[in-house]
Chains A and B, each alone.
Chain A
């Protein structure tokens, strides 16, 4: 089985579920995302910019947008300008975009450090977990090692074109 097959199937299904969600019927302007999908699939409508990111052209605001089933090729449209402007409004992710995401839990840090992750396989890594405390702040499941692990994870991920979310919560006893 090709290495990405299982994950692709899983996320195709997830993408399909998401495409059924009414809020994804909204309009989209443009967004940046990592070039991994284009690298894997050779999507002709994505052009890497000089930072290695890929601009994905999507319909202009107020233009009718119909969600496409995960995996289908979007119609050709003129590329929209990049929106690095931090004052730009929040724009949701088009449902047609397939991404591979995985959790990286702090309890594997000793045996599987962030430097060993093959970032070619992932678009997003979720670091698990930070936990809300009684004073509405956040603590770590592993206060001794987690901050250093997360710092290293972000450095490694960004150096390899992947992105990192911090996951808040989790289930007791998961470690």
Chain B
């Protein structure tokens, strides 16, 4: 087993235009290969490390938005996109919770609030 297999490379996968294009193309391929109806993003968490070993960057949340815009535009319009989220908004580049996430709202069909994180996990 790959010792690094537990690391979540979300941050680098959404970091720039090229990585986002590759990442989204790979997601769309999986979507089609498995005849899926939607994609759920469970990134714990943009702008913070979350589990030890995870990559992260202060621009994560901004890049995440650009990633979602590209994903939305390349998946079929019937595809649903959801995200599992913290009980605060995504962490902005200043390290604080974002004050306006309405642009995410235009792209996500549902959010799942990980309420259990109030007590544990992070």
Q: Residue of A at shortest CB range from B23?
A: A136
Evaluate contact between B13 and A171: CB separation under 8 angstroms: no
Within 8 A of A (CB), among B1-51: 4-10, 12-13, 19, 22-23, 26-27, 30-31, 34-44, 50-51
Judge whether A55 is part of the interface by a CB distance below 8 angstroms. no
Kindly provide the distance from the CB of A127 to the nearest chain B CB, expressed in whole angstroms: 8
Mask, A129-146, CB within 8 Å of B = 1, is 111111111110100000
User: A93–B80 Cα gap in the complex (Å)?
Assistant: 9
User: A27–B106 Cα gap in the complex (Å)?
Assistant: 11
DSSP majority for the A interface? mixed
User: A141–B8 Cα gap in the complex (Å)?
Assistant: 11
A–B Cβ pairs within 8 angstroms, 21 of them:
A14-B110, A14-B113, A21-B102, A22-B105, A86-B77, A87-B77, A101-B112, A124-B37, A124-B80, A129-B42, A131-B8, A132-B13, A147-B34, A154-B34, A164-B34, A165-B38, A168-B43, A169-B8, A169-B42, A169-B43, A173-B51
Residues of A within 8 A of B (CB): 14, 17-18, 21-24, 26, 32, 86-93, 101, 124, 126, 128-139, 141, 147, 150-151, 154, 158, 163-173
